Amino acid sequence: MKRELDILVTQMHSSGVRYEEAVREFKKQYLREVLLANRGNQCRAAEELGMHRNTLSRTMAELGLSLAEVRATVKRPPRSERPVLGVVRQGYRQG
């Protein structure tokens, strides 16, 4: 991973990307990845990042990162893969 990061940094530098822009894009991509891993749940993402949910929300706004954009890429599993609520409840009652 370090090698890939080194290559990316070299490419960004040679392309003339300024420091502020590089940091901004890194933050935006990193937050997007953590939000995707948490299926758009800001509370869980903030906890994983070690920050308050309000700080995450404010940072997203500053970076122009839309929660709707993140959630649009998170797909629900097909109905066939979702747990059937009635079956879960029946199993609970019997147990």
Name the CA radius of gyration of the chain, rounded: 19
Residue-wise pLDDT tens digits, 56-94: 999 999 999 998 888 888 776 677 777 776 655 555 555
Three-state SS for 14?
Answer: helix
**Distance between first and last Cα of the chain:** 48
Q: What is the mean pLDDT of residues 35-58?
A: 95
Domain 2-94 of CATH type 2.40.128: no
Provide the whole-model pTM. Answer: 0.71
